[in-house]
Structure 1
Amino acid sequence: MSEGIKVVAQNKKARHDYHIEDTFETGMVLTGTEIKSIRAGKANLKDSFARIQNGEVFLHNMHISPYEQGNRYNHEPLRTRKLLLQRKQISKLIGLTKEQGYSLVPLRMYLKHGFAKLELALAKGKKLYDKRETLKKKDAQREVERAFRERQKV
């Protein structure tokens, strides 16, 4: 990892379920209790997705746990959050997501120099046989590494 980056949450299943075409670093519009919960590591990207509405990008289903000392000013855990992208990037995404099978999937959330950032991916869904092929390749690679380690011990 590079200097000043702390990964808070990852969506490991996304790389298994999708072919990643392109990634974007986005900022997020957050409330005070949300950023405090994120800094405490209480965020979950599982089942979250992004959608373009009225020329803006919004993140749905991302869970940020309520802040423990947040009292009545606490946030809604599953609220829709606005993502901050450049206009040029948004127009590119609008064109690409209109194509069949493309979707916007968050890969990881991290803190970069004190700001919460989200790595958003333009992804195309994998078929079941693609997922099996990926698992076969991963197993074969693991076997090669294991054999290499055994060979070095001798």
Structure 2
Amino acid sequence: MPKKKKKSPGTLAENRKARHDFNIEDTIEAGIALKGTEIKSIRRGSANLKDSYAQVSKGEIFLQNMHIAPYEEGNQFNHDPRRSRKLLLHKKEILKLGDRTREIGYSIVPLKLYLKHGNCKVLLGVARGKKKYDKRQALKEKAVKRDVDREMKARY
């Protein structure tokens, strides 16, 4: 049975599929504006970054399609699980990201959601989509590396 991958302390959610589907060229850390029930649900580990992306509009940047499960004890104050959430960045950084995404083939993808000094942060990556043959090549390289590591472990 394969071992479960350990998350680093403070990491609440990770988008591992993004590294498979995209070439990450640049990363940037951003704060995220959340409601009270959202942060409680995130701290429980009920966040999912799969299929989410960031979008620049009207000088602001928003995280779209990120799922945060409703908080059980939240009653009438609960949030919409897939609402768009505002990201907190400096204006220069937002403009820079906007310029990069106007180029064909680039998008902003959240890579990791974590706590830093009690605040929830998201690690964004400026990414270019991989072609199908690039994905196959990456899988082959991963399999070869795994085989080499297995052989080295057996020898020593």
- Asked if these proteins are the same fold (TM beyond 0.5), I'd say yes
| CA deviation profile, 1:9-61 (whole Å, cap 9, x unmatched) | 11110000000000010000100000110111110001101100001110011
1:5, 1:113 within 8 Å by CA — same for their partners in 2?
A: no
Counterpart in 2 of 1:116? 120
State the distance in 2 between where 1:77 and 1:28 align.
15
Letter of the aligned partner of 2:135 in structure 1? Answer: K
Does 2:69 match 1:72? no
- TM-score of the pair, normalised by structure 2: 0.93
State the distance in 2 between where 1:43 and 1:90 align.
24
1:5, 1:112 within 8 Å by CA — same for their partners in 2?
A: no
Counterpart in 1 of 2:33? 29
Counterpart in 2 of 1:63? 67
Where 2:55 maps in the other structure, the secondary structure is strand
Among candidates 124, 128, 139, match of residue 135 of structure 1:
139
1:7, 1:111 within 8 Å by CA — same for their partners in 2?
A: yes
Letter of the aligned partner of 1:117 in structure 2? Answer: K
Does 2:14 match 1:10? yes
Letter of the aligned partner of 2:16 in structure 1? Answer: K
Where 1:108 maps in the other structure, the secondary structure is strand
State the distance in 2 between where 1:64 and 1:114 align.
18
Among candidates 34, 45, 60, match of residue 49 of structure 2:
45
1:23, 1:119 within 8 Å by CA — same for their partners in 2?
A: yes
Deviation at 1:5, TM superposition (A): 4.9
State the distance in 2 between where 1:138 and 1:107 align.
20
State the distance in 1 between where 2:48 and 2:104 align.
27
1:48, 1:62 within 8 Å by CA — same for their partners in 2?
A: yes
- Structure 2 alignment gaps of length 5 or more: 1-7
